[in-house]
């Protein structure tokens, strides 16, 4: 029987498995929304998306500096679902929370779309088994599950980064005007998802240079042209100009052409870099071909990331760095290495590392050279984003910022089962996927708070990380239920007090409160329970209560609203 017949026989079973995994993804994300309140940033993103939908994309404050037009998808979905519910006579929650919660179904749809791109890209690189492995790891990735159901910019950033890189790969590999247009448009759309996607421009240039450097002599353009410097320069000038023009048009359409043509002299800028540009005589009066809200947001995001005005203190490994909101705050080098070590399933870490070893150990095999060259589109952005976020980015407030890296790494994990593969490797992959699934689902429905088995006592996860790695609000229902079942419990007392104490994790470690407030509790007592991993429960005997001069007024909270 021919290999093609074997492929056709095997394909239906493979498609059924993929369909089942996608159904599991939808089931997990939809059911885990039950009793989940809004997280800190969701109202900000929804409001801005609603305003963009109604043609008002202007920035009104620093708090919405990094909200983007992509959030209009959430608002539009919420509105359409409300119309459908009214038409069908279904119950409808008309409250503010209800509106934003309905927008979460758009986030789930975007998460499903990202899963399909992960499957498709991995299939084209590694075949059916590799694609099935990548999809399985995506479905049971607690970080992608957690943020794939929220009205924020993190999942859209991962989605558009993946889509833009995928179509750029197709364009450089296969060429053609249609592929060039697809690639340019998706790159432009990524700029409407999150400002961190602006780094795709240098990443694209780096990928193009490396990809062209390792082009086989028999591929692409004719040999005489491949050695012509003038031809190459002209070719890349046309490509870069085309991509830039499409990006400008796409960004302007996304912001409704608001304030297009405003020169730098017409802005009130905050970031020192943009202020220097504004002070340059030649540049300051040139009309910018970009919408004013986009430029203002870019300036504010860069300034806020440096000044830290939109978030509190930063915390890692039991150490707290106080944020004075004056530009002196410096993050922990390697923060996201540390966070990923604890917040990515161990099984997935093993698969990724083994795939990486395979990439470098088989580089001399002729059959592998083409795939290795194609994998540049995954590894270059992973490497550059990883370096930037670990060593140059100050807003160390949650692993959600590196979701694009996780999406690309999930695709690369498919290499572990790239053909030809051995049966032992298949069995190992099955065992590791089951481990990853069991680990992630053990936190259902609280995926934001996920920590892997390197933290055996989940009540002590706060000793490693906090902020949106553990608690991003949204678990108030669970707190209310705990109080109902345990009358007399004392919630967030602000000062030493005996009894059963419940304290929010971020307050305990000093992320959004003065760190001295709960020093007495975290240094002398161990939690006996947790509430949805967001609140810790302590039993404090009166005889062990430390003496305190606590004042009668509870300290004010530091800012919690963060939108990066």
Q: What is the pLDDT of residue 545?
A: 85
Mean pLDDT of the chain: 92
Domain boundaries, the chain: 3-256+291-441
First to last CA, the chain: 55
Identify whether the C-beta of residue 465 lies closer than 8 Å to the C-beta of residue 339.
Answer: yes
| Nearest CA-CA partner of 459 in 511, 374, 531, 395 | 531
The neighbour count for residue 7, using CB atoms within 10 Å, is: 11
> 490-491 and 499-504: which strand pairing?
parallel
Residue 165 to residue 187: CA distance in whole angstroms: 8
Identify whether the C-beta of residue 382 lies closer than 8 Å to the C-beta of residue 405.
Answer: yes
Residue 400 to residue 238: CA distance in whole angstroms: 36
Identify whether the C-beta of residue 117 lies closer than 8 Å to the C-beta of residue 408.
Answer: no
Residue 533 to residue 460: CA distance in whole angstroms: 10
Q: What is the pLDDT of residue 374?
A: 96
Q: What is the pLDDT along the chain (564 residues), one digit of tens a residue?
A: 455 545 545 578 889 999 999 999 999 999 999 999 999 999 999 999 999 999 999 997 777 888 999 999 999 999 999 999 999 999 999 999 999 999 999 999 999 999 999 999 999 999 999 999 999 999 999 999 999 999 999 999 999 999 999 999 999 999 999 999 999 999 999 999 999 999 999 999 999 999 988 877 555 444 444 557 788 889 899 999 999 999 999 999 999 999 999 999 999 999 999 999 999 998 999 999 999 999 999 999 999 988 988 889 999 999 999 999 888 999 999 999 999 999 999 999 999 999 999 999 866 665 567 789 999 999 999 999 999 999 999 999 999 999 999 999 999 999 999 866 678 899 999 999 999 999 999 999 999 999 999 999 999 999 999 999 999 999 999 999 999 999 999 999 999 999 999 999 999 999 999 999 999 999 999 999 999 999 999 999 998 887 644 443 444 444 443 333
**How is residue 111 written in tokens?**
């998460």
DSSP 287: B
DSSP sequence for 314-331:
EEETTEEE---SSS----
State pTM to two decimals.
0.93
Residue 477 to residue 369: CA distance in whole angstroms: 54
Identify whether the C-beta of residue 417 lies closer than 8 Å to the C-beta of residue 133.
Answer: yes
What is the total residue count of the chain?
564
**How is residue 269 written in tokens?**
């800028």
Residue 76 to residue 109: CA distance in whole angstroms: 13
**Percent of the chain as helix, strand, coil, to the nearest 5:** 65, 5, 35
> 499-504 and 535-540: which strand pairing?
antiparallel
Q: How far is CA 324 from the centre of its chain?
A: 26
Collapsed DSSP state (helix, strand, coil) of residue 499: strand
Q: How far is CA 385 from the centre of its chain?
A: 12
Instruction: Give the burial class of 43: count Cβ atoms within 10 A of its Cβ; 0-12 exposed, 13-18 middle, 19 or more buried.
Output: middle
Residue 257 to residue 52: CA distance in whole angstroms: 11
Backbone φ and ψ of 408, nearest 5° = -70, -40
Residue 188 to residue 314: CA distance in whole angstroms: 33
Three-point CA angle 340, 37, 495, nearest 5°: 80
Residue whose token pair is 């899963």: 115
Residue 332 to residue 338: CA distance in whole angstroms: 10
Residue 324 to residue 308: CA distance in whole angstroms: 8
Identify whether the C-beta of residue 166 lies closer than 8 Å to the C-beta of residue 118.
Answer: no
Residue 517 to residue 496: CA distance in whole angstroms: 9
Contacts 24+ apart (CB under 8 A), 379-386: 379/412, 380/203, 380/206, 380/207, 380/210, 381/161, 381/165, 381/200, 381/203, 381/207, 381/405, 381/408, 382/408, 382/409, 382/412, 384/199, 384/202, 384/203, 384/206, 385/199, 385/203, 386/336
Q: How far is CA 453 from the centre of its chain?
A: 22
Residue 525 to residue 519: CA distance in whole angstroms: 10
Identify whether the C-beta of residue 465 lies closer than 8 Å to the C-beta of residue 342.
Answer: yes
Produce one character per residue of 11-26: b if its CB has 16 or more CB atoms within 10 Å, e if not. Answer: eeebeeebeebbeebe
Q: What is the pLDDT of residue 3?
A: 55
Identify whether the C-beta of residue 57 lies closer than 8 Å to the C-beta of residue 296.
Answer: no
Q: What is the pLDDT of residue 10?
A: 59
Residue 80 to residue 76: CA distance in whole angstroms: 6
Residue 494 to residue 242: CA distance in whole angstroms: 58
Residue 45 to residue 64: CA distance in whole angstroms: 8
Give the containing element (helix H, strand E) for 438. helix 423-441
CA atoms within a 13 Å half-sphere pointing along the CA-CB vector of 62 = 19
């Amino acid at each position: 029987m021919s290999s093609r017949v074997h492929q056709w026989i095997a394909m239906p079973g493979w498609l059924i498995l993929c369909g089942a995994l996608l159904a599991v993804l939808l089931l997990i994300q939809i059911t885990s929304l039950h009793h989940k309140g809004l997280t800190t940033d969701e109202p900000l993103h929804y409001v801005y998306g609603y305003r963009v939908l109604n043609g008002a994309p202007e920035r009104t404050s620093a708090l919405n500096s990094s909200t983007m037009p992509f959030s209009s998808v959430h608002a539009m979905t919420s509105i359409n679902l409300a119309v459908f519910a009214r038409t069908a006579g279904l119950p409808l929650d008309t409250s503010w929370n209800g509106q934003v919660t309905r927008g979460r179904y758009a986030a789930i749809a975007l998460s499903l779309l990202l899963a399909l791109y992960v499957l498709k890209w991995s299939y084209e690189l590694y075949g059916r088994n590799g694609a099935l492995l990548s999809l399985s790891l995506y479905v049971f990735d607690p970080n992608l599950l957690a943020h794939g159901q929220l009205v924020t910019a993190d999942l859209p950033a991962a989605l558009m980064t993946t889509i833009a890189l995928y179509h750029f790969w197709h364009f450089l590999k296969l060429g053609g005007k249609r592929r060039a247009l697809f690639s340019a448009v998706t790159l432009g759309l990524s700029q409407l998802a999150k400002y961190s996607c602006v780094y795709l421009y240098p990443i694209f240039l780096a990928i193009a240079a490396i990809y062209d450097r390792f082009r086989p002599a028999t591929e692409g353009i004719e040999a005489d042209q491949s050695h012509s410097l003038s031809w190459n320069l002209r070719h890349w000038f046309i490509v870069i100009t085309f991509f830039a023009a499409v990006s400008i048009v796409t960004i302007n359409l996304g912001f409704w052409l608001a304030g297009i043509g405003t020169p730098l002299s017409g802005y009130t800028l905050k970031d020192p870099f943009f202020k220097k540009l504004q002070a340059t005589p030649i540049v300051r009066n040139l009309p910018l071909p970009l919408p004013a809200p986009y430029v203002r947001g870019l300036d504010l995001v860069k300034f806020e990331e440096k000044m830290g005005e939109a978030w509190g203190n930063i915390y890692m490994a039991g150490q707290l760095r106080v944020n004075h909101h004056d530009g002196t705050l410096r993050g922990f080098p390697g923060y996201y290495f540390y966070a990923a070590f604890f917040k990515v399933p161990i099984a997935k870490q093993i698969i990724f590392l083994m795939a990486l070893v395979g990439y470098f150990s088989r580089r001399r095999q002729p059959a592998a050279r083409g795939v290795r060259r194609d994998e540049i589109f995954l590894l270059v952005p992973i490497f550059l984003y990883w370096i930037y976020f670990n060593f140059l980015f100050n807003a160390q407030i949650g692993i959600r910022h590196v979701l694009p890296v996780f999406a690309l790494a999930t695709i690369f994990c498919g290499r572990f089962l790239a053909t030809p593969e051995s049966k032992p490797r298949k069995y190992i992959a099955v065992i590791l996927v089951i481990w990853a699934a069991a680990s992630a689902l053990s936190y259902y429905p609280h995926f934001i708070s996920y920590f892997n088995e390197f933290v055996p006592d989940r009540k002590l996860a706060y000793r490693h990380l906090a902020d949106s790695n553990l608690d991003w609000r949204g678990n108030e229902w669970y707190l209310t239920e705990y109080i109902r079942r345990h009358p007399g419990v004392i919630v967030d007392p602000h000062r030493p007090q005996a009894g059963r104490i419940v304290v929010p994790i971020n307050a305990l470690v000093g992320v959004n409160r003065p760190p001295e407030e709960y020093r007495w509790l975290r240094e002398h007592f161990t939690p006996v329970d947790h509430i949805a991993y967001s609140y810790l429960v302590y039993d404090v005997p009166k005889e062990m209560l430390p003496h305190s001069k606590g004042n009668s007024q509870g300290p004010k909270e530091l800012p919690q609203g963060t939108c990066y």
